[in-house]
Amino acid sequence: MRLTGNRIVVAVIVGLAVLSANFLTILFPTPAASQRPPSVNEYAAHVGNARIVPAGGLVLDGNRLICGRRPTVLDPSLDDYGAAYPGFLILNPKLITRVPTAVKLWIYSHECGHQFRGPSEELADCFAVQRGRRQGWLTTDGLEQICKFIRPAKRSSMHFSGPERCEFMRQCYAENKVR
């Protein structure tokens, strides 16, 4: 088949489109299934010694903790007190026992805040202290325990320094408007 006139133009356009698509795929690859966040079962299986607590089944110091329909994974190998993936929360049971009740409930509520407010650390902090105030488990004394707990924290790419976070949480705690 001989290409002439309009056929040449169409062939060039189609060729450029194919090359462009391949080039964009190289520059911006589609995330593979292995790059998506794990499900709660995948996370627990990967960790090996974690335990999944169904939504509403977690009790800390006599307080039943609920974050919508999201389960909590108790992961003793987690390198922090708590974390969150879309759809579930993670707590390190060995570390969480070392802090006062108000701090435990704040950590849980902070991670829950990520479920409802997204990745913003400030919004998760605010969510946690406002939730604690509304639910009655967070008093000004409890907020001071939280501030004491985070005071040594240095500023990072994810968090403000402990004192900066504390000042922001005091403002959120005092506000009636839910953030």
pLDDT tens digits along 50-60: 999 999 999 99
pLDDT greater than 80 at residue 16: no
Instruction: Give me the pLDDT at residue 14, please.
Output: 38
63 and 110: one domain? yes
pLDDT greater than 60 at residue 25: no
Q: What residues contact 44, with CB distance under 8 A and at least 6 apart?
A: 50, 51, 52, 73, 75
Instruction: Look up residue 17 and give its DSSP letter.
Output: H
76 and 12: one domain? no
The share of the chain scoring above pLDDT 70, in percent, equals 80
130 and 87: one domain? yes
67 and 123: one domain? yes
pLDDT confidence bin for 4, thresholds 50/70/90: low
> Between the CA of residue 148 and those of 67, 73, 92, 105, 130, what are the distances in Å?
25, 26, 20, 15, 18
- The structural domain count of the chain equals 2
Give the torsion sign (CA, 126, 128, 134, 140).
negative
Q: For residue 179, tell me if it sits in a domain.
A: no
Instruction: Give me the pLDDT at residue 55, please.
Output: 97
103 and 123: one domain? yes
pLDDT greater than 90 at residue 13: no
Ramachandran assignment for 56, one of left (phi > 0), alpha (psi -120 to 50 degrees), beta (any other) = left
Q: Report the C-alpha gap between 67 and 127 in whole angstroms.
A: 12
Q: Please, are residues 120 and 158 in contact by the beta-carbon 8 Å criterion? A: no
Average pLDDT rounded to a whole number, residues 68-96: 97
25 and 46: one domain? no
Q: Which domain holds residue 21?
A: 1-30
Which residue has tokens 């939280």?
A: 146
18 and 99: one domain? no
How many Cβ atoms sit within 10 Å of the Cβ of residue 129? 26
Q: For residue 121, tell me if it sits in a domain.
A: yes
